[in-house]
């Protein structure tokens, strides 16, 4: 029997082109299964060990050693106290296995049939694993395959001997495949399939990286390092933008990517189900990059707010629809491409907003600096926007303002400092009016609480009734932070309903 087992292992390994270790492990599993059936204890833990040199094997029943409080399954567990009573002086520890040797189960017809099934399954698994390893070793970013079948959750694509999954959410909208269609996609990742231990290659046709790789295939200058794609943004199947930069001054990056009569960009568009692609120039300057990203719209001017990481984009009335795009598509892609929040407005809207801001600042100075409207207008025209700027801008800069002497400057600075202190004290007093359950909300901090208290929002229900935009306007936080705080504020409503 020992010799037969060795011959069987070697024959199967040779026939299926897998390691003999795979066959041995399958045989061990089959023998352990047979032993459990003989004992009529399918839940007990049995281990079989085959000697790889002579084919002899031994059978063991084993228990995991656990602490008293973790003891749950008597068929496969023993407590540390129990094992110490059975074997005085043992050094076995919690987490280790205690084993008892059993009589070997004969390798009969049933065991042989089980072993055969297990071996074939293990061999298939090993073959799949080998195919996957070979695929990963090639390090292919873009793969070409044939549709094997279309399922509810996605499309199975055959790449050589490998079956890969193109999930529904990684397919271009309204894109339908039939069996036998050729498909090009990006290798996205490798997923585990449930608890089976098997792995599944996952593909994507919606990833922005797929767009970049397609251009790399069509534009040799990218591979040569003469040109690079710095950023990309996509609305899969509809429109995309790429930002390109030339590393060689002799190259026109846009023209190179577009190709003669649009041949290169059209090849990518055809692969992406007609997705229209804008090729724009990348720039290290935020202002210029934003202007380029909003192409084909013409931008009149922009205002950058570094603190809010936002850009106000001012365009002529006839350019507004083009800048925003259908359904906001153009501005959304431009924002994604640049990484900045873009606020599109007409010249008239910008002037109206600037006037409103200037009026607010003017009233602030009149109220807290005790100055007339003319002096307040001078400060606004000189670019002062806060009391802090008046209080702490160097005296020399304020003395450069026409009509301001040392006495006026000193008076304004002292009044500004007094006003800042008074407002700070008032702000702290308003914090006392804020409800305790609002102070402890997830995502809220002292600065946000001050802004809310200043706006008269002092309890959880008032906060919960705010929209995301209103909270952003009051506190200046990001959209994600605003959503988090409002959801936390509304949580008790849902709990009460339940």
Query: 3-17, 360-374, 383-397 — which is least confidently predicted?
Result: 3-17
Give CA–CA dist 320/323, Å, rounded: 5
How far apart, in whole angstroms, are the C-alpha atoms of residue 393 and residue 472?
Answer: 29
Which one has a higher pLDDT value, 300 or 477?
Answer: 300
CB 330 within 8 A of CB 238: no
pLDDT tens digit string along 329-338?
999 999 999 9
Three-state DSSP class for residue 199: strand
In a domain, 180, yes or no: yes
On the question of pLDDT at 224 being above 60, the answer is yes
The per-residue pLDDT for 211 is 96
322 pLDDT higher than 80: yes
160 and 95 in a single domain? The answer is: no
| pLDDT over 70 (residue 109) | no
Phi–psi pair at 382, nearest 5 degrees: -80, 0
- The answer to whether 291 touches 280, Cβ cutoff 8 Å, is no
Mean pLDDT of 50-68: 88
Q: What is the mean pLDDT of residues 6-26?
A: 77
Mean pLDDT comparison of 26-40, 110-124, 400-414, 453-467, highest-scoring range? 400-414
340 lies in the same domain as 439? no
Give yes or no: residues 114 and 3 share one domain: yes
Residue 26 is predicted with a pLDDT of 80
Predicted confidence band at 414 (pLDDT cuts at 50, 70, 90)? very high
pLDDT band at 155; cut points 50, 70, 90 = very high
pLDDT at 31: 81
Least confident stretch, 104-108, 180-184, 408-412: 104-108
Share of the chain above pLDDT 70, in %: 95
Do 90 and 150 share a domain, yes or no?
no
Find how far residue 417's CA is from the centre of its chain: 45
Q: Which CATH number belongs to the domain containing residue 107 in this structure?
A: 3.30.1480.10
On whether the CB atoms of residues 63 and 95 are closer than 8 A, the answer is no
Give residue 222's pLDDT band: very low, low, confident or very high (50, 70, 90): very high
pLDDT score at 403: 87
Q: Are residues 9 and 103 in the same domain?
A: yes
Dihedral Cα 422, 423, 425, 430, nearest 10 deg: 140
Q: What is the DSSP letter of 125?
A: H
Please report which residue ranges of 17-48 form alpha helices under DSSP H: 20-39
Give the pLDDT of residue 277: 95
Count the Cβ atoms, other than its own, within 10 Å of residue 266. 14
In a domain, 244, yes or no: no
Domain boundary among 161, 180, 204: 204
CATH number of the domain encompassing residue 178:
2.40.50.140
Does the pLDDT value for residue 498 go beyond 60? no
The DSSP result for 326-354, as a single string, is GGGHHHHHHHHHHTSEEEEEEHHHHHHHH
159 shares a domain with 102: no
Domain boundary among 343, 364, 385: 364
Lowest-pLDDT choice from 107-116, 179-188, 408-417, 489-498? 107-116
- Residue 110 — pLDDT band, cuts 50, 70, 90? low
- Judged on CB neighbours under 10 Å (0-12, 13-18, 19+), 378 is middle
Residue 325 lies in a domain: yes
Cα–Cα distance, 323 to 346 (Å, whole number): 10
Cβ proximity of 380 and 361 under 8 Å: yes
**Mean pLDDT rounded to a whole number for the chain:** 87
Q: How confident is the model at residue 271 (pLDDT cuts 50, 70, 90)?
A: very high
When pLDDT is cut at 50, 70 and 90, the band that residue 158 belongs to is: very high
pLDDT given for residue 105 in this prediction? 66
164 or 495: which leads in pLDDT:
164
Same domain as 183, residue 114 = no
CATH number at residue 452: 1.10.150.20
Examine residue 80 and state whether it is found in any structural domain, yes or no.
yes
Clarify whether residues 69 and 176 are in a common domain.
Answer: no
Model confidence at 1, pLDDT cuts 50, 70, 90, reads low
Q: What is the CA radius of gyration of the chain?
A: 36
Please give the residue range of the domain that contains residue 168.
140-204
In a domain, 391, yes or no: no
Exposed/middle/buried for 34, CB within 10 Å: 0-12, 13-18, 19+? buried
Taking the C-alpha atoms of residue 185 and residue 214, their distance in angstroms, rounded to an integer, is: 10
pLDDT (tens digit per residue) in 120-137: 777 777 778 888 888 888
pLDDT at 114: 67
Residue where a domain terminates, one of 165, 188, 204:
204
For residue 462, tell me if it sits in a domain: yes
Degrees, nearest 5: CA angle 226-218-158? 135
Do 190 and 105 lie in one domain? The reply is no
pLDDT above 80 (res 117): no
Provide mean pLDDT across the span 49-76.
Answer: 87
Q: Which two tokens stand for residue 215?
A: 């251009």
Closest listed residue to residue 472, CA positions, set 287, 269, 308: 308
154 and 76 within one domain: no
CA distance 228 to 247: 7
pLDDT digits (tens, 9 = 90+) for 444-471: 888 888 888 888 888 888 888 888 888 8
How far is the C-alpha of 234 from the C-alpha of 295, rounded, in Å?
15
389: left (phi over 0), alpha (psi -120 to 50) or beta: alpha
Q: Is the pLDDT of residue 438 over 90?
A: no
3-state secondary structure of 74: coil
Task: Specify the CATH number for the domain of residue 352.
Answer: 3.30.300.20
Claim to verify: residue 98 and residue 145 sit in the same structural domain:
no
Q: Which of 112-126, 305-319, 321-335 has the lowest mean pLDDT?
A: 112-126
Here the tokens at position 4 are 């037969």
- Asked, for residue 482, whether it belongs to a domain, the answer is yes
Q: How many domains does the chain have?
A: 4
Tell me how far apart the alpha carbons of residues 210 and 223 are, in angstroms, rounded to a whole number.
Answer: 15
Q: Which of 128, 116, 285, 144 is nearest to 210 (CA)?
A: 144
DSSP label at residue 465? T
Query: What's this model's pTM, rounded to 2 decimal places?
Result: 0.66
Backbone angles phi, psi at 65, to 5 degrees: -85, 125
Q: How far apart are CA 170 and CA 189, in angstroms?
A: 12
Residues 353, 323, single domain; the answer is yes
The verdict on residue 465 lying in a domain is yes
Count CA within 13 A, CB hemisphere, residue 195.
0
pLDDT(259) > 90: yes
């Amino acid at each position: 029997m020992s010799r037969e087992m060795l011959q069987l292992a070697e024959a199967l390994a040779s026939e299926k082109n897998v390691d003999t270790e795979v066959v041995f492990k399958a045989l061990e599993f089959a023998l352990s299964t047979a032993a459990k059936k003989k004992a009529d204890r399918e839940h007990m833990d049995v281990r079989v060990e085959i000697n790889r040199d002579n084919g002899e094997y031994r059978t063991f029943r084993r228990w995991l050693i656990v602490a008293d409080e973790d003891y749950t399954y008597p068929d496969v567990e023993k407590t540390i106290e129990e094992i110490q009573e059975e074997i005085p002086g043992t050094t076995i520890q919690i987490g280790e296995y205690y084993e008892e040797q059993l009589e070997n189960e004969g390798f009969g017809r049933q065991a042989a049939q089980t072993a055969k099934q297990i071996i074939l399954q293990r061999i298939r698994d090993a073959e799949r694993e080998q195919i996957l390893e070979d695929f990963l070793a090639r390090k292919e970013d873009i793969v070409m395959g044939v549709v094997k079948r279309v399922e509810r959750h996605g499309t199975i694509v055959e790449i050589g001997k490998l079956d890969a999954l193109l999930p529904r959410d990684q397919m271009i909208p309204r894109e339908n495949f039939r069996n036998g269609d050729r498909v090009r996609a990006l290798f996205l990742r490798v997923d585990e399939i449930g608890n089976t231990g098997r792995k599944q290659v996952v593909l994507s046709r919606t990833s922005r990286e797929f767009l970049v790789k397609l251009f790399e295939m069509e534009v040799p200058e990218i591979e040569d390092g003469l040109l690079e794609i710095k950023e990309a943004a996509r609305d899969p199947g509809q429109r995309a933008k790429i930002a390109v930069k030339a590393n060689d001054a002799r190259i026109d990056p846009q023209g190179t990517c577009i190709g003669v009569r649009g041949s290169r960009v059209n090849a990518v568009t055809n692969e992406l189900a007609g997705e229209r692609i804008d090729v724009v120039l990348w720039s290290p300057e935020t202002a210029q990059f934003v202007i380029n990203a909003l192409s084909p719209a013409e931008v009149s001017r922009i205002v950058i707010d570094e603190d809010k990481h936002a850009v106000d984009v001012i365009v002529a009335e006839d350019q507004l629809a083009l800048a925003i795009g259908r359904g906001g598509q153009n501005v959304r892609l431009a924002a994604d491409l640049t990484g900045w929040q873009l606020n599109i407005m007409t010249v008239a809207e910008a002037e109206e907003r600037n006037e409103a801001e200037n009026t607010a600042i003017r009233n602030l100075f009149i109220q807290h600096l005790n100055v007339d409207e003319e002096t307040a207008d001078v400060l606004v025209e000189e670019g002062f926007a806060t009391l802090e700027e008046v209080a702490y801008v160097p005296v020399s800069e304020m003395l450069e303002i026409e009509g301001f002497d040392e006495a006026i400057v000193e008076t304004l600075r002292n009044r500004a400092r007094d006003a800042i202190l008074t407002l700070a004290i008032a702000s702290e007093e308003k914090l006392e009016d804020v409800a305790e359950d609002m102070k402890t909300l997830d995502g809220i901090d002292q600065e946000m609480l001050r802004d809310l208290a200043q706006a008269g929002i002092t309890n959880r229900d008032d906060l919960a009734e705010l929209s995301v935009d209103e909270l952003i306007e009051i506190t200046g936080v990001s959209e994600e932070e605003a959503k988090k705080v409002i959801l936390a504020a509304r949580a008790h409503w849902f709990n009460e309903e339940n």
